[in-house]
Each structure stands twice: as C-alpha cells, then as structure tokens.
Amino acid sequence: MTKLYYNKVTNVFGVSYAILDRQEYPNASISTSLTTIGDWIAYEQTDKPQTLPYQTVVEGIPTFDEVTDPETNEVSLSNGTQSWIITNKEVNEILLSSLRKEVKDKITNKRWEVEVSGLTFPNGISVKTSKDDQDRILSVIINAERNGITQIDFKADSGWTTVTIFTLKQMAKELTYFVQHCFNTEKFHHQAVDALTTPESIYTYDFSNNWTYSSTALNDKTVNIYDKSTIDIVTLLYSNFIFPTVDGSVVLVSEQTYVAAQAVIDKDYYGMADILPTQFYYLLAKSGLDNAIDTLLPPLKTENLAKYSMYKSYLNGARYYEFSKAYHMYLDIKAKILVVDENLDFTLQQLKTLWTEASEAQL
C-alpha cells in the first residue's frame, strides 16, 4: 500500500509523498533519514490514524523562513524548532517529464470518471456507459438481428422503455460518439500539458473544462419533413434517439445521423411495414424489376463502384427491407431501368400496392 502522511498540527491526512515533495513544498527536500522531529508522520492506511507510533518525516506546516548558517552559509527552512536544507531542484527535461506524467495521469483518471458516469439523452432517458454496459447493448443488437427480433423492452438506468432495434442502434451510435468525445478531450489536455515548459505551469494546469458532451452540438443538415409539422417530426426523431434542432420550419440534424433521420421520417411518412428478403424478392419478381436490376448491376460496377457496392449490399445483406430506401433506390436508377424495360415505370402508389401485396404473401 502507498505510504501516506498525517500532520499532527493541522490534522491533514491522506497526503502522498509526491504531493509533499512536488506540489506543496517543491523547493524543499523531504528526507527519509529521520533525524529531525517534524509534524508529518507516515502511516500505511487510508483513514486518519488514531495513535501516533509512526515514523516522522522531515516536513512541516508552511510557516517557515529561510535561514542562512553564518559559518557554512548553508540555507535552510526553519520555524524555530525544526529545519532542513533547501534543495534548488534543477529544472530539466527529466523533472518536467515526471511532472507532466503526474498531471496526465490525473487527466486520464478524469476521462475514465466521465466515461463511466453515464449519459442522459435529451429525451430524458439515461443509460450507463461503462464498457460492460456498451458491450451489453451491442450484444442485444447482434442477437436480436440474428433472431429476427425488431423490438425489445430495454432497462435503461432511468427505468424501463420499449425500443426498436433501430432505436437501440442509434443509442449505441450516440454512446460511441460520447466515448470518443471523452478520449478526444483527454488527448487535448495531454497535448496541452506536453506543451508546458515550467514546473509552475504544469502544477497549475486546469483540466476541468471541455468534458461536457452534447448530443445536438453539430446539427446543421436539413431533413425533408414533407407536410408534417416540426413538432411531430421532433417527437418522432426523439423517440428514435435522434436529437434534432429546429430553425423556424427547418429541422436540422447532424451529418452522422442524417441518413438514419431521413429513413425514420420516410418510413413514418409512407407508412409501410418492413418486409423480409424473400418478400422483397417476390416484389421484384412480381414487378419484373429483378431482370432490370440484374442487367444494370454489372455495368454499374465499372461505372460507379461505390453505388454498386451500396446496392449489392442492400440487396444481399438486409434482414428487413424498408419501403423508403427501396423507393429512393428505384427513383435513383429509374431512367436506366426504363431503358431496359419501358413498362417498369411505376408510380408511388403502384409501388406501395406491390409492397403491401408482398408483405402479405405467404412465403
């Protein structure tokens, strides 16, 4: 156990050697050769000692004056009853590096405290944020998707709430941003300490700022809300753990949440249920779109690899298919589809009818 120190005069206890040596009395040497009776005693426990059968460390309360020995010219600190020699510590890179490490260790401890302190979302729901809590959410998402579960009862730190897996993903994403913010702040303070060049500036460095995390700090991208009211849209997004800001009649979200936010709005606007992959391919076959897509995908691979990869992964990888994504994908390549087959010109209502039929198909 680390040895701590107790002051018999001031009753201060729980003080480490490093604090005495480098912060409280940085110009005085603290000798472990106990030849002088002082006020500081060493003990190896975390509570205030009740008895005093401990060794004395040569240190005292800060009411000392410099005294010069007339014979030796040796300078010492003295309060009349105890004294010790002043050491003029050489300020070199070794000393500065040691001091920086102490401060950076405190910064790292601060980051850990903030990281595990929990996160309260703007909708009032709070969650725990330790690594185990983050892993637990990720495990629920993976197992739910693997087993086709779309909605769960989730026990947040603030109480029970029913969420969709989509919503849980948004929570997990926000937690990722939160943890990254904690590490970014730690890095910022570490770099600031590394730039300091004097013991005093290192001792007094204030690392208490910039730890506060905001879910809505970077909302600058406009989403399409169609003919819905901003209140309805904000309520909808909040319930899905996406936290917009409103500027007049404009709803703004962050760059990171834009795609998810628009998907939530579209899904609510079109009011169409998700369908399974087999139902989705049933729709493609029923409409004849499968032949057109099979024809268009290979050329797209050489024309636009990013878009090809997006379409291919969507067609092959999704467990459920959302109408809004499928509809916008159709609009995106509609001109090319009509070149393959001009009869594949569907209106929104026709596609909604096909989608509803596919979702009801017994496959």
3-state SS assignment for residue 176: helix
Please indicate whether residue 207 or residue 66 has the higher confidence score (pLDDT).
207
Among 6-20, 32-46, 101-115, 328-342, name the one with the lowest average pLDDT: 32-46
pTM beyond 0.75, yes or no: no
pLDDT digit string, tens, across residues 246-285: 888 899 988 888 888 888 899 889 888 888 888 999 999 9
Q: Which residues contact 352 (CB under 8 A, 6 or more apart)?
A: 270, 272, 323
Among 76-80, 183-187, 246-250, 321-325, name the one with the lowest average pLDDT: 76-80
* pLDDT score recorded for residue 58: 43
Instruction: Please state whether beta strands 83-85 and 119-120 pair in parallel, antiparallel, or not at all (unpaired).
Output: unpaired
pLDDT digit string, tens, across residues 349-361: 999 999 999 988 7
| Identity of the amino acid at 230 | T
Question: Residue 214: left if φ>0, alpha if ψ -120 to 50, beta else—which one?
Answer: beta
pLDDT band at 343 (very low <50, low <70, confident <90, very high): very high
Instruction: Please state whether beta strands 119-120 and 126-127 pair in parallel, antiparallel, or not at all (unpaired).
Output: antiparallel
* pLDDT score recorded for residue 91: 62
Averaged pLDDT of the chain: 79
Our measurement of the distance from residue 45's CA atom to the centroid of its chain's CA atoms, rounded to an integer in Å, reads 36
Query: Which H or E run includes 166?
Result: helix 165-194
Contact 316, 281 (CB under 8 A): no
Residues 116, 121, 122, 124, CA torsion sign: negative
